[in-house]
Amino acid sequence: MKMTLVVDTEDIKGIEAAHKMISTMCRQYDARTSGHYAEKRFGKIAFIKALRSYMKQQQDAVENEDAEFKDMRNLRGAKQFADKIWDGWNP
């Protein structure tokens, strides 16, 4: 399939629609695009629940002496939690 896209730079809604169309085509047809790192969307309440869950996880780790308080600033714990969310865990 071949397509020519003409964009009117003065039509903002048209530019947004063209961007949405190209993004959709890239997700569906571009083999270089990995589905694993696709855009994730969730609402504000889900985000707040995820933050609360992360804080609870960190607090529990300190209370159980699995981690020290100073380690809560560590990037590793935040990355592991973010990976859980990215891999489909729902708060």
| Contact yes or no for 56/66 (Cβ under 8 A) | no
pLDDT of residue 13: 92
pLDDT tens digits, 74-84: 788 788 888 88
pLDDT confidence tier of residue 85, bands split at 50, 70 and 90: confident
Is the pTM higher than 0.75? no
Domain range summary for the chain, segments of one domain joined by +: 1-39, 44-86
Residue 65, by phi and psi: left (phi above 0), alpha (psi -120 to 50) or beta?
left
pLDDT tens digits, 17-62: 988 988 888 877 776 655 545 566 677 888 888 888 888 888 888 8
The answer, yes or no, to whether residue 12 has pLDDT greater than 70, is yes
CA distance 89 to 91: 7
